[in-house]
Amino acid sequence: MTDVRVMHPVGGPMIGVPEVPGSKSQTNRALLCAALAEGTSRLSGVLSADDTQAMLEAVVSLGAEIEADREDTSLEVKGIGGDLRFEDLVIDCRSSGTTSRFLLPVLVAGKGNVTIDGSDQLRSRPFDEQIKALRALGCSLSETRGLGELPIEVVADGVNGAKVEISGSTSSQFVSGLMLAAPLYVGGLTIELTDATVSRPYLDLTVKVMNDFGVAVQQPNESTYVVQQGRYRSADIKIEPDASAASYFFAAAAITQGKVKVDGLHRESCQGDTQFVDVLEKLGAKITWGKNSVEVQGDHLNGGTFDLRDFSDTAQTLASVAAFAESEIEIKGIGFIRSKETDRIAAIVSELTKCGVEVAETSDGVIIKPDKWKLKGASVETYDDHRVAMAMSLLGLRVPHIEIRNPGCVAKTFPDFFSVLEKLRPRAIPLTEAVAVAAIDGPAGSGKSTVAQALAVELNLPHFDTGAMYRAVAVAALRRQVDVTDSAAIAELAEAVDIKINERTVVDGIDATDEIRSAEASHLVSVVAANPDVRRILVPRQRQWATELGGGVMEGRDIGTEVFPDAIFKVFLTADLQVRAQRRFQETTDQTLDEVLQDLQRRDHVDSTREDSPLEVAPGAVIFDTSNMSVEAVVSELADMFRLRVEG
């Protein structure tokens, strides 16, 4: 049976300093260089995960000696000095692309027979560009399963380097592997790139790590790398936190209006994926760079077009952020990620669509057209891809019932991801520190009134139907025959009308509990509520109403955005339009179902497009689709979320 992790919305801003593990890319490069070097190297801050374990076991099989301090995340590596000899060796690279693509060019420089293999997932990934380049250098390679795929048998007898051409349009790892192996080749190696290389910052990282271990890489021009024959020297290296892993926590801050800081990353970081925070800044987040840290503070998320060619590992992270944006986001330059652990573009389209997000695939990316009203829970397939699992889990920070299938696949690069994410969950707020308002917003027919009343009972808190205030003004207008389109007259009426709302709603001394729910009042209330002067008059009353009683469950269409923007707990209830229409139809006797449906469509348009306080999802609000749930189930979940936010 497939393991499933159910994500639970946090109900507030995520805040903290997560412990981000070491960079996988830097760890595996440093491990290989240390293993090939003369002497003993010390690596601190290393990542302990499946991918790095694959590299560690591989270099040990080549003769390197390693002492690990798991608690201190450090390694001592006694290198082999470039002396590569093996006999009928089989190296299992698991699912690690870096391990396999870095090792293959190294192995051909040795002496003996060796087979390089990996998981079914790694076997399905392309190696043809690297194989072609190595064969051009005279290396003996045989694919035993399929052309351009693992497993690959190598009959190694050293390499005369000279010059080689290679494409980097599929993966920069092919080029990095050749660079890392080049000092072992007789005469060194000149590498000519035949086209534009994807993820180019990873080549810069390779150059940096090689320099750290005493090997110089010359770049006479953008498409040429020259490495002289030589030896790696031992070194002491501090591994940076993984910028790709950090992107999920930066995204969590952006999605929940929180504040997250990662120590160890900085403007001059050797990792290209730090550029992700620049994208978040363009979307509206506030970014603060420290000497050795970066902090992201969430705000309203705008749209835009972003080329992630150089940091594509964050593409799925951005796609999840885009689901909560205010306008369209295009991610381009990432067509090559179709050949990663899975077809990541297809995964983005499939899994976000399940969650109610409109996604269109392009030749080199995706276009995401967010509509937060349509977000809903779903069972998310991860395709055994760690980045799918981590990115899609971010939706569950604000959307209930997001299930991550096979969550254990995160062990490839970040075994503790879910526990580290959970530590950022906002702390419970003592009642002495804030007015305990639960703000329940949503369109007509989403179940606001029913759910809010039941939630108030469950939590033993007062219930405030702010919509009833606007309905009361609409009823007063009907009684007095005031034209609701006369803005000044309606505002004057709102100022004068006497409204009392408890168990019953009383307008000017006359019970209007049933009258405010009539078709006539429902037809007029959107116009009344859209009047800025009416809102100016009623909103202070609503705030005073709740504050005097120390909080409560307050429902309406702008509670989390305007009336109580600092509410402890914000929810936007939504439901499929047909479901909402059916609910309203069951409550009325003077409209057909089609008439109710048309009226809801009209009201949705009016409420969401009005200039003053439009109906929208409050920043950080839990987006709860009630379409297929009972009132009791919805209330139970909301009550649990509220209790996690409030202490005492």
The rounded mean pLDDT for the chain is 94
pLDDT of residue 523: 85
pLDDT of residue 535: 87
360, β-bridge pairs: 367
Closest CA to 277 of 253, 256, 258: 253
What's the rounded mean pLDDT across residues 280-288? 98
pLDDT of residue 228: 97
pLDDT of residue 537: 93
What's the rounded mean pLDDT across residues 257-281? 97
Q: Which residues of 98-120 are buried (b: 16+ CB within 10 A; e: fewer)?
A: bbbbbbbbbbbbbeebbbbbbbe
pLDDT tens readout for residues 552-587: 999 988 899 989 998 999 999 999 999 999 988 888
Residue-wise DSSP of 40-73: EEEEES---SHHHHHHHHHHHHTT-EEEEETTTT
Please check whether residues 290 and 272 belong to one and the same domain: yes
Please check whether residues 149 and 47 belong to one and the same domain: yes
Three-state DSSP at 637 gives helix
CB distance 189 to 162 below 8 Å:
yes
Distances, alpha carbon 394 to alpha carbons 6, 14, 318, 390, in Å: 12, 12, 10, 7
Strands 259-263 and 15-16: parallel
Please check whether residues 110 and 11 belong to one and the same domain: no
Please check whether residues 16 and 34 belong to one and the same domain: no
Please check whether residues 399 and 470 belong to one and the same domain: no
Cβ-count burial of 69 within 10 angstroms (0-12 exposed, 13-18 middle, 19+ buried)? exposed
499, β-bridge pairs: 507
Please check whether residues 441 and 392 belong to one and the same domain: no
More confident residue, 464 or 21: 21
Query: Does residue 127 form part of some domain?
Result: yes
What's the rounded mean pLDDT across residues 311-324? 98
Q: Which residues are catalytic?
A: 313
pLDDT of residue 330: 98
Listed in sequence order, the DSSP H helices in 444-592 are 448-459, 466-480, 487-496, 519-529, 532-548, 577-587
Strands 74-78 and 65-69: antiparallel
Please check whether residues 43 and 183 belong to one and the same domain: yes
CA distance 244 to 136: 34
* CATH, residue 613: 3.40.50.300
H or E element, residue 428: none
Strands 505-507 and 622-625: unpaired
What's the rounded mean pLDDT across residues 153-161? 95
With both helix axes pointing from N to C terminus, report the angle between 172-181 and 128-136 in degrees, rounded to the nearest 10: 30
Cβ-count burial of 74 within 10 angstroms (0-12 exposed, 13-18 middle, 19+ buried)? middle
Query: Does residue 423 form part of some domain?
Result: no
pLDDT of residue 76: 97
pLDDT at 162 over 70: yes
pLDDT of residue 1: 53
CB distance 205 to 25 below 8 Å:
yes
pLDDT tens readout for residues 344-400: 999 999 999 999 999 999 999 999 999 999 999 999 999 999 999 999 999 999 999
DSSP label of 396: G
Please check whether residues 132 and 273 belong to one and the same domain: no
Query: Does residue 215 form part of some domain?
Result: yes
pLDDT at 648 over 70: no
Determine the residue type at 289: W
Query: Does residue 411 form part of some domain?
Result: no
Closest CA to 152 of 117, 178, 119: 117
CA distance 52 to 49: 5
- Last-in-domain residue among 238, 255, 290: 238
Please check whether residues 261 and 116 belong to one and the same domain: no
pLDDT of residue 95: 97
H or E element, residue 174: helix 172-181
Closest CA to 646 of 552, 560, 576: 552
Query: Does residue 413 form part of some domain?
Result: no
pLDDT of residue 560: 94
> And the tokens for 634?
């919805």
Cβ-count burial of 354 within 10 angstroms (0-12 exposed, 13-18 middle, 19+ buried)? middle
- Last-in-domain residue among 238, 259, 290: 238
Please check whether residues 383 and 441 belong to one and the same domain: no
For the chain, what is the domain count? 3
What's the rounded mean pLDDT across residues 190-209? 96
pLDDT of residue 71: 79
More confident residue, 292 or 607: 292
- Last-in-domain residue among 366, 385, 403: 403
At a CB cut-off of 8 Å and minimum separation 6, what does 327 contact? 302, 303, 370
DSSP label of 162: S
pLDDT tens readout for residues 392-422: 999 999 999 999 999 999 999 999 999 999 9
Query: Does residue 182 form part of some domain?
Result: yes
Ramachandran category for residue 477: left, alpha or beta (phi over 0 → left; psi -120 to 50 → alpha): alpha
Please check whether residues 475 and 605 belong to one and the same domain: yes
430 band by pLDDT with thresholds 50, 70 and 90: confident
Query: Does residue 424 form part of some domain?
Result: no
Radius of gyration of the chain (CA): 30
pLDDT at 517 over 90: no
Give helix then strand counts, H and E, for the chain.
21, 33
Query: Does residue 132 form part of some domain?
Result: yes
CA distance 384 to 11: 29
Q: Is the dihedral of CA 561, 563, 567, 572 positive or negative?
A: negative
The pairs formed by 354-362 with CB atoms below 8 angstroms and a separation of 24 or more are 354/378, 354/379, 354/380, 355/323, 355/380, 355/392, 355/395, 355/399, 355/402, 356/625, 357/322, 357/323, 359/319, 362/330, 362/332
Please check whether residues 208 and 322 belong to one and the same domain: no
More confident residue, 40 or 2: 40
> And the tokens for 585?
């139809």
pLDDT at 589 over 80: no
The pairs formed by 123-128 with CB atoms below 8 angstroms and a separation of 24 or more are 123/149, 123/150, 123/151, 124/149, 125/97, 125/149, 125/339, 125/340, 125/341, 126/170, 126/171, 126/339, 127/100, 127/101, 127/152, 127/174
* CATH, residue 182: 3.65.10.10
CB atoms within 10 A of CB 153: 15
Per the structure, the complete domain to which residue 550 belongs is given by: 429-647
What's the rounded mean pLDDT across residues 91-115? 98
Determine the residue type at 126: P
